[in-house]
């Protein structure tokens, strides 16, 4: 059971996926969905966790920050893991770790143990999207990869919409521990399904050996950089908890890169960046993650702090954006197969820029549903840009380099997202302080409150302007870098 290796030749019959291939892809998709769902489900429960354990909010925030940190460390290891071990072994091991982490977080009596369980969840789910991506490129022919990636992306994009909503409902009705109970049950079900029905898509190469010094450099490099940038949101950059890990991270990454370029069998094959098309796709993906990540942090400030709407209303306002992403994922992949990457990416990046520009025009008197309309436009643009461009750029690599390419592009995206949010949030905070000046210290409460409100609106506005400029740069990169119709290898 599970020993047959599914390849492109035996995964299709009469133009359709065979039953074993369909079931295996469905299992991988569900597991990846659970990972995305897990990352976002806890956001609504953080206030209750902080209150129950009597800890500072900045410490409780690590329940969500640790996911991004661990995934940033795990993704660079993907290329080696998927080459060294079979699909079944990777997935089953990942689900064992995920389930144990969920169980620990459910039963843990102290916050450090809950955070440890959360870390294990992140380790277990961190590798699943790259594994699914590599699997799709291994079994789908070139002309159907857009369809496959778009369909799966549509399914996965539902997670950001329902994760916080369901997490909030569970917290209100049964307490935050019920979230980890449900994740434990999901983990067990996914583990059983993987053991019983998941087939191998590769058998692994036992001769592959990890360069453990490169692994250490990767952990200290990517982990240190992400940890330092994460701390910027709650500490000044001059604080040792910011500059020290960032310094270690930069040194580690530079050393890691230099080591990889001088090895015959590197842990992360950076030679894929010599491919112009792949490099263009990676730049576009990184810019989109950099600009996108911050908006989900400070737009709730506009909705709740400046406009006075509830957290529930905030979720309702953002919901159409998730619908827009689903629509774009569904049609974006099909349009990629039919028309090629250039027109789809131009359409998507233009929508993304216009939606972000629209948000930059908001003020304290704007109709609140304009936020929903602009976010819907932005998410349409993200869907038409990110998945098609990533698919096209990986199509331009030789088949043997797809695993390395997936690891490189996902690593760059993780870094851009992790760095973008704190950098732009700190930019917003600096602009806010500059605007309020001495008025925020006024003994007159009404003057101080008005100054604080005006300053925050000023900071949000100009940070959105910066995000719009980044989106414009992404559009220019697409115009210059994505040429020709279709996804031609080496294009």
Contacts of 59 (CB under 8 A, 6+ apart): 50, 111
CATH number at residue 197: 1.20.1250.20
**For residue 85, which phi and psi values (nearest 5 degrees)?**
-120, 155
Q: Are residues 201 and 220 in the same domain?
A: no
- pTM for the predicted model, two decimal places: 0.76
**Judgement on whether residues 405 and 294 belong to the same structural domain of the protein:** yes
Same domain, 283 and 253: no
Please tell me the distance from the alpha carbon of residue 22 to that of residue 271, in angstroms, as a whole number: 33
Which residue has better confidence, 487 or 277?
277
pLDDT digits (tens, 9 = 90+) for 269-309: 888 888 888 999 999 988 888 877 667 667 777 887 788 77
Q: Domain containing 402: what range?
A: 268-491
Given pLDDT bands bounded at 50, 70 and 90, which one contains residue 98?
A: very high
Binned at pLDDT 50, 70 and 90, residue 486 comes out as very low
Give the mean pLDDT of 356-361: 91
Tally of residues, the chain: 491
Assess contact for 79 and 269: CB atoms under 8 A: yes
User: 403 and 320, same structural domain?
Assistant: yes
φ, ψ for residue 101 (rounded to 5)?
-65, -45
Q: How many CB atoms lie within 10 A of CB 72?
A: 27
- Residue 336 sits at φ, ψ, to 5 deg, of -60, -45
- Which helix (H) or strand (E) segment holds residue 13: the answer is strand 12-13
Q: Are residues 161 and 280 in the same domain?
A: no
Last residue of a domain, one of 246, 266, 286: 266
- Least Cα distance to 136 among 121, 155, 122, 123 occurs for 155
Residue 407 sits in the same domain as residue 447: yes
Q: Specify whether 193 is located in the same domain as 290.
A: no
3-state secondary structure of 283: helix
Same domain, 355 and 241: no
Single out the residue in 192, 209, 226 at which a domain terminates. 209
Task: Report how far apart, in Å, the C-alpha atoms of 161 and of each of 9, 36, 278, 322, 463 are.
Answer: 36, 11, 30, 6, 24
> What end-to-end distance do the CA atoms of the chain give, in Å?
40
Regarding whether 472 and 353 lie in a shared domain, the answer is yes
Structure confidence by residue, pLDDT tens digits, 144-167: 777 777 777 766 667 766 776 677
| pLDDT tier for residue 9 given thresholds of 50, 70 and 90 | low
DSSP secondary structure string for all residues of 237-260: TTSHHHHHHHHHHHHHHHHHHHHH
Q: What SS3 class is residue 185?
A: helix
392 with 447, same domain: the answer is yes
Reference 327, options 158, 166, 487, 471; nearest CA is 158
Beta-strand runs (E) in 177-244: none
- 489 and 400 part of one domain: yes
Lookup: tokens for 110? 């102290």
Based on the fold, state whether residues 404 and 352 are members of the same structural domain: yes
Q: What is the pLDDT of residues 448-481, one digit of tens each?
A: 677 777 788 888 888 889 889 999 999 999 998 8
Structure tokens at 187: 């983990």
* Phi and psi angles of residue 206, each rounded to the nearest 5 degrees, phi first: -65, -15
Number of compact structural domains in the chain: 3
pLDDT for the residue 445: 65
């Amino acid at each position: 059971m599970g020993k047959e290796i599914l390849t492109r030749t035996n995964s299709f019959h009469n133009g359709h996926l065979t039953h074993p291939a369909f079931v295996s892809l469905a299992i991988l998709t569900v597991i990846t969905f659970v990972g995305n769902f897990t990352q976002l489900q806890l956001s609504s429960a953080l206030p209750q966790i902080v209150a129950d354990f009597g800890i500072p909010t900045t410490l409780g925030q690590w329940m969500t920050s640790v996911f991004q940190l661990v995934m940033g460390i795990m993704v660079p290891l993907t290329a080696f893991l998927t080459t060294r071990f079979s699909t079944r072994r990777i997935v089953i091991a990942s689900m064992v770790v995920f389930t144990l982490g969920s169980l620990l977080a459910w039963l843990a009596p102290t916050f450090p143990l809950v955070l440890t369980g959360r870390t294990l969840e992140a380790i277990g789910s961190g590798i699943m999207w790259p594994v699914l991506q590599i699997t799709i490129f291994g079994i789908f022919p070139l002309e159907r990869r857009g369809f496959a990636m778009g369909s799966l992306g549509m399914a996965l994009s539902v997670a950001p919409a329902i994760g916080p909503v369901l997490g909030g409902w569970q917290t209100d009705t049964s307490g935050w521990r019920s979230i980890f109970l449900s994740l434990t049950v999901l983990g067990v079900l996914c583990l059983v399904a993987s053991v019983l029905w998941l087939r191998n898509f590769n058998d692994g190469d036992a001769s592959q050996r990890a360069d453990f010094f490169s692994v250490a450099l990767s952990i200290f490099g990517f982990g240190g950089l992400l940890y330092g940038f994460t701390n910027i949101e709650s500490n000044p950059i001059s604080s040792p908890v910011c500059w020290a890990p960032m310094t270690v991270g930069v040194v580690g990454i530079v050393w890691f890169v230099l080591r990889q370029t001088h090895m015959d069998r590197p842990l992360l094959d950076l030679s894929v960046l010599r491919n112009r098309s792949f490099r263009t796709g990676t730049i576009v993906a990184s810019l989109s993650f950099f600009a996108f990540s911050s908006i989900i942090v400070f737009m709730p400030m506009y909705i709740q702090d400046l406009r006075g709407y509830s957290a529930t209303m905030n979720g309702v306002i953002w919901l159409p954006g998730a619908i827009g992403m689903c629509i774009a994922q569904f049609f974006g992949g099909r349009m990629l197969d039919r028309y090629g990457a250039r027109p789809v990416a131009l359409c998507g990046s233009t929508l993304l820029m216009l939606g972000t520009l629209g948000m930059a025009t908001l003020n304290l008197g704007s109709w609140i549903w304009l936020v929903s309309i602009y976010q819907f436009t932005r998410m349409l643009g993200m869907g038409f840009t990110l998945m098609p461009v990533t698919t096209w750029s990986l199509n331009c690599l030789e088949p043997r380099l797809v695993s390395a390419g997936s690891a490189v592009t996902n690593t760059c995206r993780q870094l851009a997202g992790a760095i973008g949010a704190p950098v732009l949030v700190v930019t917003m905070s600096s602009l806010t302080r500059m605007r309020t000046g001495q008025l925020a210290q006024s003994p007159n409460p009404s003057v101080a409150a008005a100054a604080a409100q005006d300053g925050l609106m000023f900071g949000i506005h100009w940070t959105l302007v910066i995000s719009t400029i980044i989106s414009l740069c992404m559009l220019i990169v697409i115009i210059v870098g994505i040429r020709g119709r279709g996804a031609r290898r080496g294009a």
